[in-house]
Every structure is written in structure tokens, then in C-alpha cells.
């Protein structure tokens, strides 16, 4: 299955595609919606916190989540079923996991380094926080143990996995189904063709849903500003600024160096996925951009099998933004509460956070829950300090989601390059020219 967009680089020879009017470009519409949402939330907080305004953002995210499970199933099954050798799937998975763990370690270490150098929590006033305020995040029923996390990957039923939309459960079944279809050989051709066609149809649904992206971004942003107020942005501005700057350093320095090794520019890549980044910024949900990211990466030159395995897996195992947040926030809380952490304890933070970042996947407020699990494992005295971050976590979650999305996109390109299945010509053409890849409805099937 291949996708191409009707753009300047795919038009027939001699034909020049008409430029898309600025007001019809998706990322511009989303950007305008975000600005309007901020203004409405600031000027009319009562109106912005109306249930119907909140429903705009929540409804759009639900529409996106509606198609995530079918997209993962179709993409993974199709990718595996068309592979001639089973060992290739295992090779891709191993390479992806190695990459995830190495880059995640860099993210965790960067958070520790910045936290020790900047010391954003030093001299923080009003650090006495009530443990009651964070019970909903760190209760015994919220912290997921590693063994429970592994067992939870296995769905109680296939239908249940799709009904809950659990990415890892759907991924497991999709891999097994893909292998089974691969072994059928020519007898499975009819099913393979059906799944390929179903994938195109689901991407068509996404194209329709994406037309509502500006409405979703407006509702989510207006409700957030209206509920928390602009004061929430300045309440702990030092920590917010430190976190955003640290995430930027990770993207432009760490991921930038990795991208350069793979032969592409991180700036050009960010420009290519700008629609997805703005969508995440507006909705505070990286899942809202998952289908569009997978479609764009395939058109960027990444092989279908790599996209189908790396991106969904990365949403559980490659959470760079969450990793930076955990180490930086842990040090902030320790400094705010006056708890001196030894070098050994800080190394423990890195190790524990590496595990707990996988254990809270799929749970609402995963970043905050993961932080609670990490604090409890390192030093229980730090757990009450989570209440300090309650007021600003909503704004920090956006940065976590943006960094996670970027990290997973880069990971997919790098693993494709590592596997020797990166279409370098398509990569160069997409990243170097002014091609508008935002309109998924322009995707057409090529044989």
C-alpha cells in the first residue's frame, strides 16, 4: 500500500498544482483557532467553561480515538503480511526498542542535568502541600506495577481490545494476525487486499474528521484558559520555562544530532509535521495526531512495515517528553521541599523513571501518575509535593505531548534508515520543497 498526495511533486509532467489558499491550510486554521481560544478563555471565562465549549475539544479527540485502533490494525497487519520473512519483523522490533531505550536515557539524563544546574525549586515558597490533593493520582489502584503492565498487554478478548482502544493490546493482536496471514501465503491474498482497501477507507474517515480540527483546538484551548486562568501560566513560570527550554534542547540538540546522522534536518522535519504539532498543542493529546503522523511518515519514505511497528510501539515505549518531565519535576519537588537527594538517589530516579514511564501508558493523566509512581519509589517524602504542580500540569502536558510526538516521528525515520528501507528520494523531496502534506483527502492510491 502506498500513498501519494496530489501536490507539485506528484502532478503529471508539465502540470503545475495550484497553491492552496492560505485560509484552507489546516495548520493555519488550527493556529487561528488556538489564538481565538486563548482570547475567549481569557476575556470570557464563564462562557469558555461552558460544557458545550469543553465538548468541542473532547468530541474531536474522541473522533480521532475512534479510528486509532482500526488504523493500527490495518497498518500493522498489512505491513507484516506483505513481508516475505518473519525474522524481519523481529529485527525491526529489536532495533526500535534499542533506539527507544538509548534515546529515553538521554531524555532522562538531560532532565537531571538541567534540574541540578538551574535548580528551579530552590527557595520555592509555600511548598507545604497536602497529600490529599494527589491521592487521585498516587492511590494504590492507580500505580501500575511492571508485572501488571506486561499482563495488561494481553487482552481478555480481541473485541475488548478494540473497544477500549488500548494501543498495546491492539498491536499485539495485529502482530499475531499479521504473522498468521503471512503464513497463509497466496491463500491469504484476498484478506490482504481487503485490509489494504480498509486502510484507505479509514484514512478517508480521518480526512473528514480532520476538517473539525480547528473546532476541537478552539474548544480545548478556550476551556483550559477559562478554567485555569492566565494566572496558572505565571504561578510557576520558572518551572514551566525551564521545562519548555529543556524539551527544546532535547529536540534541537539530541534529536537534531540523531537526525543529522540519518541524513535529514530536524528543522525541515518539524516543518513537515507542523500540522500534527499544532493539533497536539491545541488538544493537549498526542493521540489526536497519531493517524496523520503515520500517514505522513509513510509518504516521507518510511516503509509501511516500519511505520506500523515503530509508531504505535513508540507511543508506549518512547515517551521522551514524559521522561524529561519526570526527572526535572522530581528534582523540582525535592528542592522545593528541602529534601537533599544524593547522587545515588538521582541515579535511582533515572532507573525507576525508565520503568514507570512504561507502566502508566493508556491511563488518563499518565504523566502525572508516572511522576507519582517515581516519587513513591525514590523517596515517599516527595509524594505530597505533587500538589505543587497540580495548577500547572495541564500546561506542561502540552510540552510533553509535543516532545513525545516529535521523538516518535524521528524514531520511525531513523529505524527505517537503519533497516535500509528509507526512500531517500521521497525524504529529500518532501523535506526540501514547499509541499503541503496536510490534506489527507488528497491522498490517492498508487498501485
Domain that holds residue 250: 2-446
- Against a cut of 0.75, is the pTM above it? no
Q: What is residue 1's predicted lDDT score, i.e. its pLDDT? A: 38
Pairing of strands 2-5, 443-446: antiparallel
Q: What is residue 126's predicted lDDT score, i.e. its pLDDT? A: 45
Q: What is residue 230's predicted lDDT score, i.e. its pLDDT? A: 60
Confirm if 426 and 301 have CB atoms less than 8 A apart.
yes
Long-range contacts, stretch 312-315, CB < 8 angstroms, 24+ apart? 312/72, 312/76, 312/167, 312/170, 312/171, 313/93, 313/96, 313/97, 313/100, 313/171, 314/96, 314/100, 314/407, 314/408, 314/411, 314/412, 315/167, 315/286, 315/287, 315/290, 315/361, 315/404, 315/408
Domain total of the chain: 1
Q: What is residue 5's predicted lDDT score, i.e. its pLDDT? A: 35
CATH number at residue 138: 1.10.3860.10
Q: What is residue 133's predicted lDDT score, i.e. its pLDDT? A: 47
Mean pLDDT by 10 residues, the chain (447 residues): 36 47 74 86 87 84 79 78 70 87 91 89 55 47 57 84 79 86 84 86 81 84 75 63 92 94 92 87 74 88 86 81 88 83 82 64 53 71 71 74 91 92 88 56 39
Name residues whose C-beta falls within 8 Å of residue 284's C-beta, 6 or more positions apart in sequence.
Answer: 220, 224, 394, 397, 398, 401
Structure letter (DSSP) for residue 265: -
- ∠ at Cα 12 (7, 14), nearest 5°? 105
Confirm if 54 and 224 have CB atoms less than 8 A apart.
no
Backbone angles phi, psi at 175, to 5 degrees: -65, -45
Interatomic CA distance for residues 238 and 228, integer angstroms: 18
Amino acid at each position: 500500500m502506498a500513498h501519494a498526495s496530489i501536490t507539485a511533486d506528484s502532478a503529471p509532467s508539465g502540470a503545475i498544482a495550484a497553491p492552496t489558499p492560505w485560509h484552507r491550510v489546516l495548520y493555519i486554521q488550527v493556529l487561528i483557532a488556538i489564538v481565538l481560544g486563548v482570547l475567549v478563555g481569557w476575556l470570557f471565562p464563564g462562557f469558555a467553561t461552558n460544557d458545550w465549549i469543553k465538548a468541542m475539544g473532547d468530541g474531536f479527540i474522541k473522533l480521532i480515538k475512534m479510528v486509532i485502533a482500526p488504523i493500527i490494525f490495518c497498518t500493522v497487519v498489512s505491513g507484516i503480511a506483505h513481508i516475505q520473512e518473519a525474522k524481519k519483523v523481529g529485527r525491526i522490533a529489536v532495533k526500535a526498542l534499542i533506539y527507544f531505550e538509548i534515546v529515553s536515557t538521554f531524555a532522562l539524563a538531560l532532565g537531571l542535568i538541567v534540574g541540578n544546574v538551574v535548580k528551579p525549586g530552590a527557595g520555592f515558597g509555600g511548598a507545604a502541600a497536602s497529600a490529599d490533593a494527589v491521592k487521585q493520582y498516587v492511590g494504590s489502584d492507580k500505580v501500575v506495577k511492571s508485572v501488571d503492565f506486561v499482563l495488561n498487554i494481553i487482552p481478555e478478548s480481541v473485541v475488548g481490545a478494540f473497544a477500549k482502544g488500548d494501543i498495546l493490546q491492539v498491536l499485539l493482536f495485529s502482530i499475531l494476525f499479521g504473522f498468521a496471514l503471512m503464513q497463509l501465503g497466496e491463500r491469504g491474498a484476498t484478506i490482504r487486499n481487503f485490509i489494504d482497501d480498509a486502510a484507505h477507507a479509514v484514512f478517508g474517515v480521518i480526512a473528514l474528521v480532520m476538517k473539525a480540527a480547528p473546532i476541537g483546538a478552539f474548544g480545548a484551548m478556550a476551556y483550559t484558559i477559562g478554567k485555569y486562568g492566565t494566572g496558572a501560566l505565571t504561578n510557576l513560570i520558572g518551572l514551566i520555562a525551564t521545562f519548555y527550554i529543556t524539551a527544546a534542547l532535547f529536540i534541537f540538540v539530541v534529536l537534531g544530532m540523531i537526525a543529522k546522522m540519518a541524513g535529514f534536518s530536524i528543522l525541515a522535519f518539524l516543518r513537515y509535521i507542523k500540522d500534527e504539532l499544532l493539533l497536539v498543542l491545541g488538544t493537549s493529546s498526542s493521540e489526536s495526531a497519531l493517524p496523520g503522523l503515520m500517514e505522513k511518515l509513510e509518504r516521507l519514505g518510511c516503509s509501511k512495515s516500519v511505520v506500523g511497528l515503530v509508531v504505535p510501539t513508540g507511543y508506549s515505549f518512547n515517551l521522551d517528553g514524559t521522561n524529561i518531565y519526570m526527572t526535572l519535576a522530581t528534582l523540582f519537588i525535592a528542592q522545593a521541599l528541602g529534601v537533599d537527594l544524593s547522587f545515588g538517589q538521582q541515579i535511582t530516579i533515572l532507573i525507576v523513571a525508565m520503568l514507570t514511564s512504561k507502566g502508566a501508558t493508556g491511563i488518563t493523566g499518565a504523566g502525572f501518575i508516572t511522576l507519582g509512581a517515581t516519587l513513591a519509589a525514590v523517596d515517599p517524602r516527595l509524594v505530597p509535593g505533587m500538589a505543587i504542580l497540580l495548577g500547572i500540569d495541564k500546561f506542561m502536558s502540552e510540552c510533553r505531548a509535543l516532545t513525545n510526538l516529535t521523538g516518535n516521528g524521528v524514531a520511525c525515520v531513523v529505524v527505517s534508515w537503519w533497516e535500509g528501507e528509507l526512500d531517500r528520494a521521497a525524504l529529500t523531496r518532501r523535506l526540501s520543497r514547499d509541499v503541503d502534506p496536510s490534506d489527507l483527502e488528497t491522498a490517492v492510491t498508487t498501485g
